[in-house]
Amino acid sequence: MPSTYSLVRARQEEAALAFGGMLVKWRKMNGWTQYTAKRWADEAGHSSGSHSGLSELERGLTRHPRSAVFLSLAEMNQRIAAADFAGVRTRDLLDQLKGSRAITSDGAPPWGPAEFWSCHAGLLNPPGWLAPPIPNPAPVLNDEQAADLCAAWATQARELVLLSGGGRAELMRASSSAPAKLREKWGDVLVGLDAYSPEELFEVWDAVASEWAPAQWLNAWAATLPPAGGGVSRKSDFCSAGSLPVAIPSR
């Protein structure tokens, strides 16, 4: 029988995933990229959206965010509601911000830090228009399957470098699309010097997108490569959930 602690932890993880899914949907419905909030904060000179870790929040990996995270989200939300884009000078950024929709509940004032915190804690549901898709749990892998998955990523990265006419230096730059704290490990995986354990893969599973974050990093890097001479796409679906090179057992 599950312990009380395990039930509470599972609920926290579920709430964090739902909160992350809401942020993803909010960003995309507003036509924002992953960098819009940071660009806004930097250009306008305020703290809204300036904190790091939005990507981790969106993926549900941050279990206990600092209060500054909720204060920053609330400030950004309230500026959107007031159409307060003072200080924004870049035309494409201003175009992204205009027309954005703030998060509210049933006609109430825009969400503040208490509402964002309550949603992350699972005490407040996202508004209906931002209800996220049901997150998919990470596939359960054994050691051999995890190693095969990492080897497939490394092989596909090398093949793409060759197709684009690049060399080893280009392959070494492939890790730059990963978050800074994860680049060293990811770089070693790409050159075949290391592999993620099943536990480490669990931590880099994007439950909202239903795919591995390393596959997203690899695709992001691939999109920066020059097109192959034979018309090969720069973006390849690197072992997403639907194209794993290993047989994944059911949970």
Type of residue numbered 2: P
Cα–Cα distances (Å) from 137 to 17, 22, 45, 220, in that order, read: 10, 17, 39, 23
Average pLDDT, the chain: 83
Alpha helix positions (H), 59-101: 67-81, 91-97
How long is the chain? 251
Give the whole-angstrom CA distance, residue 95 versus residue 47: 20
Model pTM greater than 0.85?
Answer: no
Predicted local confidence at residue 5, as pLDDT: 62
The pLDDT confidence band at residue 249, using thresholds 50, 70 and 90, is very low
Predicted local confidence at residue 176, as pLDDT: 87
Lowest-confidence region among 118-127, 132-141, 178-187, 204-213? 132-141
Find the mean pLDDT for residues 93-118.
92
Q: At what angle do helices 67-81 and 36-44 cross, to 10 degrees?
A: 80
pLDDT at 2 over 60: no
